[in-house]
């Protein structure tokens, strides 16, 4: 096994440790390994999707972060063929959440999701989708 070093915001580490305690973990390293495995599996699942999809992209971002609203608007304009609706709500003084309803080729939806994830000021992005042809 390899050892690594990482820097984390104090509150993120505190929250992670609380989750580990709630889940009965005895080792922070084991928790980090499991979290990384989950992250990789979700990414691989997203990469394996094909065809036409319908879904939502949930985005949480810092409202006052310089340029984030403009960059989100530019990205949404770029993907206007795939975006069917957008809803935004305040989450207090610092954060907003957007829910973006999408429909189109999964590769385009994936590209949209990845562009949003790379924006500074964006704290969290989650894509949820299903096939467009025969939803469950």
**Mind spelling out the 3-state secondary structure of 75-87?**
HHHHCCCCEEEEE
| pLDDT category of residue 49 using cuts at 50, 70 and 90 | confident
Average pLDDT value for residue range 59-63: 95
DSSP bridge partners of 114: none
Q: Using an 8 Å Cβ cutoff, are 17 and 32 in contact?
A: no
**Residue 116 burial (10 A CB sphere; 0-12, 13-18, 19+):** buried
| pLDDT category of residue 136 using cuts at 50, 70 and 90 | low
For the chain, which domains are there? Answer: 10-46 (1.10.1220), 51-131 (3.30.70.1150)
| Whole-Å CA distances, 104 to 57, 81, 84 | 13, 8, 10
Average pLDDT value for residue range 56-84: 95
Q: Using an 8 Å Cβ cutoff, are 64 and 123 in contact?
A: no
Average pLDDT value for residue range 98-104: 96
Q: What is the pLDDT of residue 53?
A: 87
Residue tagged 């994936």 (tokens): 110
Residue tagged 């992209």 (tokens): 57
Q: CB-based contacts of 97: which residues, under 8 Å, 6+ apart?
A: 58, 59, 60, 61, 88, 89, 91
Answer yes or no: pTM beyond 0.75: no
């Amino acid at each position: 096994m390899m050892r690594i070093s990482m820097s984390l915001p104090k509150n993120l580490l505190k929250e992670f440790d609380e989750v580990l305690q709630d889940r009965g973990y005895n080792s922070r390293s084991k928790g980090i390994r499991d979290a990384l495995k989950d992250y990789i599996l979700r990414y691989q699942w997203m990469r394996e999707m094909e065809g036409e999809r319908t879904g939502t992209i949930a985005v949480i971002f810092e409202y006052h972060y310089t340029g984030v609203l403009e960059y989100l608007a530019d990205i949404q304009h770029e993907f206007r063929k795939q975006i069917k609706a957008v809803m935004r709500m305040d989450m207090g003084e610092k954060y907003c959440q957007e829910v973006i309803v999408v429909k189109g080729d999964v590769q385009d939806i994936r590209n949209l999701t990845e562009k949003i994830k790379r924006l500074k000021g964006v704290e969290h992005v989650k894509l949820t989708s299903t096939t467009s042809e025969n939803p469950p």
